Amino acid sequence: MSELSVDHLLGIKYLNNNDINLIFDTADHFKKVINRPIKKVPSLRDITIANLFFENSTRTKLSFELAQKRLSADIINFSSGQSSVSKGETLVDTVNNILSMKVDMVVMRHPNPGAASFLSKHIDARIINAGDGAHEHPTQALLDTYSIREKYGEVKGKKVVIVGDILHSRVALSNIFALQLQGAEVMVCGPKTLIPKHIIELGVKVEVSLRKALNWCDVANMLRVQNERMEISYFPTTREYTQQYGVTKSLLDSLNKEITIMHPGPINRGVEITSEVADSDQAIILNQVENGVAIRMAVMYLLASKIKQ
């Protein structure tokens, strides 16, 4: 247990349990580092990383950027809005141009599923998938399960429900893989229109009643309704969605136990969870954000260690 089994982080489905343990143990050390008066280590001082965001992102991009700076890497940033992509350049051409500037690692978010995997086959750099369409978002699932481990000591045996828009969510898929790999039981909950037809084949439970799901679980991971990915209507109105699938304080208080609330952000306050819930002691949403920096430091440190001089 001292090296990752993969050369890129394309998705949780390519990792094994040892990889996850190694990432978590390394993140433990980095979490201490980022809580020191001087939060920076020189490990990646001779590594250059390109952050390529072909799709909007605020917290993931900031989290990666902060993690890179804490590791002393050199970074270049690219957002498709201000680039030649709009001039018709292909993905491989764009990235090869950037790589000819001697970049060692690429962090990429892209609207097409499989974009990161495609890139890893065509260019000579370590690739980290920061979200590819509705496919995977591995660092989010790592930080989510790391936060569960931090709260409960271990992920194994925990019951976790993922609530909301499962259909359009890369967070859901990566989380399902990560949770199952670590021995958790997983349930998805949401309107039938937002639950993929064959998801049961992944070995997850499906529940349409939010109350039943919350009574079953230890942890509820609340997803945002991704209006920007919906070209048709999946439920009548946002108000109706909230009535059926919004978590309120009174709903939480009426359960037979205290559960933990997670949210990958950005929160639509008053839609999937109320402000009262988001700001309560049961929510670990801000811990997730802090852990995100430590997890991304660990992933980049471990991948960089495989780039030999």
Site for other proteins, rule CB under 8 A = 2-3, 25-26, 29, 32-33, 36-44, 46, 301-302, 304-309
Closest CB 2 distance from other proteins, rounded Å? 5
Closest CB 268 distance from other proteins, rounded Å? 38
* Residue 39 or 156 with smaller CB distance to other proteins: 39
Q: Which residue has the tokens 């952000």?
A: 265
* Residue 126 or 158 with smaller CB distance to other proteins: 126
Closest CB 281 distance from other proteins, rounded Å? 26
* Residue 146 or 216 with smaller CB distance to other proteins: 146
* Residue 37 or 236 with smaller CB distance to other proteins: 37
DSSP string, the chain: --S-S-SSB--GGG--HHHHHHHHHHHHHHHHHTTSSS----TTTT-EEEEEESS--SHHHHHHHHHHHHTT-EEEEEEGGGSGGGGT--HHHHHHHHHTTT-SEEEEEESSTTHHHHHHHHSSSEEEEEEETTTB-HHHHHHHHHHHHHHHS--TT-EEEEES--TT-HHHHHHHHHHHHTT-EEEEES-GGGS-TTGGGGT-EEES-HHHHHHH-SEEEEPPP-GGG-SS-SSS-HHHHHHHH-B-HHHHHTSSS--EEE--S---BTTTB-HHHHTSTTB-HHHHHHHHHHHHHHHHHHHHTTS--
Closest CB 41 distance from other proteins, rounded Å? 4
Closest CB 36 distance from other proteins, rounded Å? 5
The answer to whether residues 168 and 222 touch, using CB atoms and an 8 Å cutoff, is no
* Residue 43 or 260 with smaller CB distance to other proteins: 43
How many residues would you count in the chain? 309
Closest CB 12 distance from other proteins, rounded Å? 20
* Residue 32 or 122 with smaller CB distance to other proteins: 32
* Residue 26 or 120 with smaller CB distance to other proteins: 26
Distance from C-alpha of 112 to C-alpha of 282, rounded to nearest angstrom? 35
Closest CB 306 distance from other proteins, rounded Å? 8
